[in-house]
Homo-oligomer: A and B are copies of this chain.
Amino acid sequence: MVIKTTRSNEAMGAKGEANRQHIVDVADNLFYQKGYNQTSFTDIAEASEIPRGNFYYYFKTKDEILLAVIEHRVVMIRSMLQTWDQEFTTPLDKLKRFAHILRVEGQDVCQFGCPLGSLTIELGKAQQELQSQAKGMFDVFREWLVKQFSDLGYPDNANHLAMQLMSRIQGIVVMAHAYNDPAFIETSANEIESWIDSLKKTN
């Protein structure tokens, strides 16, 4: 028996909620692998085995599906960061775990790029209202990184260091994706970790 206490839509029961989440999950993958504008309702319908027409019961427009995907990603990112906060104690270890994403996601990244970066770039071209929503995913990471750099002893330029680290990782991903080069990711991940280590204060 399934008992659900929270509902994102008052008129939606447990079954509907599960269907809605299934659509979001499938759309999340497809938007990453094919791009938002290149993913059709038919694509999502076939992958989710939910008829096209049903989508309009859960979402009024395609844009609303994207917003739900972004919200879902934000929740997943927050949850991941929370796990890291429990697994690692020092800011240095937490920062290195962040950089380690490169290796964990290396294969996907070479094929499809960064889920955050590629979506932001796509939307930034001509759908800037949606892009500013997607930017929220970067903000979650950035705010967490700012805290780590502050704790490490760089309270004054913590935000720039956070931007710098995210920027370096984005760049590595773009070039690794362009050249489909996993070795470049590996080498670059080592360099990033060395850089993080070099920020350790001895006093």
Chain A interface residues toward B at CB < 8 A: 33-35, 37-38, 111-113, 117-118, 120-122, 124-126, 131, 135, 138, 160, 163-164, 166-172, 174-175, 177-179, 184, 187-188, 191
A120 touches B34 (CB 8 A): no
- For A131, what are the chain B residues with a Cβ–Cβ distance below 8 Å? 178
B168 touches A125 (CB 8 A): no
Could you say which of B33, B163, B187 contacts A160, with CB atoms under 8 Å apart?
Answer: B187
A175 touches B184 (CB 8 A): no
A167 touches B163 (CB 8 A): no
A178 touches B138 (CB 8 A): yes
Interface centre among A34, A126, A164, A175 (most CB of B within 10 A): A175
Could you say which of B126, B166, B174 contacts A167, with CB atoms under 8 Å apart?
Answer: B174
B35 touches A126 (CB 8 A): yes
- For A126, what are the chain B residues with a Cβ–Cβ distance below 8 Å? 33-35, 38
- For A175, what are the chain B residues with a Cβ–Cβ distance below 8 Å? 138, 163, 166-167, 170
B125 touches A121 (CB 8 A): no
Bound-state Cα–Cα, A113 to B70, Å? 21
B122 touches A179 (CB 8 A): no
Answer whether A122 and B124 are a contact pair too, CB < 8 Å, given A37-B38, A171-B171, A178-B138.
Answer: no
